[in-house]
Amino acid sequence: MTAGQRCGRDRVPPHPDLRTITLQQVLEALVDPVRRSIVRQLHTSRDDLACGTFDLPVSKSTATHHFHVLREAGLIRQYYAGTSRMNALRGAEFDQAFPGLLRTLLAQRDEA
């Protein structure tokens, strides 16, 4: 393994095994409307999105916190593509661990 390969792998943040995630963790992550917005934007795009491409009403540092909470709750996977931190919804994996929960969430509308 080259130094470049080690560096790239080290830049990928840790992702929890969904078998270790509790329903409480998921619900706490999804209670925040900004985090629900991130999940909806990922679902709607059907593609992975860079952190800076989301339409969020918060500062960059606050957005970073929201991405961290979603990653720790097992909802998103993050990785680097060049210098961009990319985000992917762990939809299929998540649906195996919590059948129907994500679909139900995405069907709900947030109050304005």
The model carries a pTM of: 0.85
> What are the DSSP calls for 65-98, one per residue?
HHHHHHHHTTSEEEEEETTEEEEEE-HHHHHHHS
pLDDT tens digits, one per residue of 10-51: 578 889 999 999 999 999 999 999 999 999 999 999 899 999
- Are 49 and 42 a contacting pair, CB within 8 Å? yes
pLDDT tens digits, one per residue of 52-68: 999 999 999 999 999 99
